[in-house]
Amino acid sequence: MLVFGLAIIALALGMGFVLYTQGSVPIRGQGFFGFLFETTWNPVSGVHGAWPFLLGTIITSAAALALAFFPAVGVGIFAAEYAPPKIGSVINYLVDLLAAVPSVVIGIWGIFVFAPWMRDTFYIPVYYWAVESAPALLPVLGAPASYNIITATLLLALMITPYTVGLTRDAIKLVPREQRDAAWALGATHWEVMRLGILPYARGGIVAGAILSLARALGETMVIAMLIGNSNRLPFTFFGPASTMPSVIANEFREAVETMHLASLMAVGFYLFLLTFVVNLIAAYIQRKLNIGGRVL
């Protein structure tokens, strides 16, 4: 057991180390923060920086989590506590099904159905409204392309919802019977049982679910690469294209001919590794703070 445990640690450290050595040329050339904050990504002139992609990753993931979290927790609570068993099992089945849809399928649906629909019903009307009544907003909105940060974020939110729902549901189901019975015995209503007895007990698990969803959003590649519009410039506009760390690696890795280009992609991978590491540390800290039941889910 110890050996396996140590092997996992060695594996993680080894991955980080390999990414660092492969990407060390640009990181050492520009400095750790120099590469991180460089805003140009130009493989032709050989100037590379991670900042546009780091921003793109953080914006899409955080926004997707913010969008998905409360609806997902609501669905989880409903499925675990309120729904009649039959409806509950249907919801569970559909949520699991949604989690199992390959991201490339969601991406294709996004390209051919969702993005054009968003353009016709939302981006273009909002754009023309801004042209007529709020021209000050135009530089913030940008030209209405169908493939942009908003489209990618919405689909990302859709993709991470099942994870949050599933873990919320399981965390609630794991709350001990006595905890509920005690709350009922005090004369609490159903919602009070939920709010005072169950949710505080389960919140460690719920937050863990949210963090797991965030980790998935940070690493999601296919849907983002297909829908974000892939511009390697800073994402200044809502309707404009952007790019994330996984998407730029997936996009440019195959045909990265110049050594510097390849090393820079590796370096972006190294920063992504650090980012997920930091997110996981924060998650562990929050989870420890929130655990009251004395049980780690």
Bridge partners of 42?
47
Asked if residues 290 and 207 have their Cβ atoms less than 8 Å apart, the reply is yes
Q: In the set 56, 166, 204, 229, which binds other proteins (CB under 8 A)?
A: 229
Query: Which alpha helices (H) appear in the chain, and where do they start and end?
Result: 2-22, 24-30, 32-37, 51-77, 85-100, 103-109, 115-118, 124-133, 138-141, 149-173, 177-185, 190-192, 199-219, 222-227, 245-252, 259-290
- 30 in contact with other proteins (CB under 8 A): no
**Interface residues for other proteins in 187-226 (CB under 8 A)?**
225-226
Helix 51-77 vs helix 199-219: crossing angle, to nearest 10: 140
> How far, CA to CA in Å, does 4 sit from each of 7, 191, 272, 281?
5, 44, 25, 21
- 143 in contact with other proteins (CB under 8 A): yes
Q: How far apart are CA 4 and CA 152, in angstroms?
A: 38
Binding segment toward other proteins, per CB under 8 A, in 138-146, 154-162, 199-207, 277-285: 138-146
Q: In the set 40, 96, 129, 140, which binds other proteins (CB under 8 A)?
A: 40
In the complex, the smallest distance separating the C-beta of residue 236 from other proteins, rounded to whole angstroms, is 13
- 129 in contact with other proteins (CB under 8 A): no
Binding segment toward other proteins, per CB under 8 A, in 63-71, 174-182, 209-217, 251-259: 251-259
Asked if residues 169 and 80 have their Cβ atoms less than 8 Å apart, the reply is yes
Q: In the set 231, 237, 245, 273, which binds other proteins (CB under 8 A)?
A: 231
Binding segment toward other proteins, per CB under 8 A, in 40-48, 59-67, 93-101, 188-196: 40-48
Q: In the set 3, 4, 133, 254, which binds other proteins (CB under 8 A)?
A: 254
Q: How far apart are CA 18 and CA 109, in angstroms?
A: 36
Task: Compare residues 30 and 146 and give the one whose CB is closer to other proteins.
Answer: 146
- 45 in contact with other proteins (CB under 8 A): yes
Asked if residues 273 and 185 have their Cβ atoms less than 8 Å apart, the reply is no
Binding mask 93-122 for other proteins (x = CB under 8 A): ------------------xxx-xxx-xx--
Which residues of the chain form contacts with other proteins (CB under 8 A)?
A: 40-45, 111-113, 115-117, 119-120, 143, 145-147, 225-226, 229-233, 241, 243, 247, 250-258, 261-262
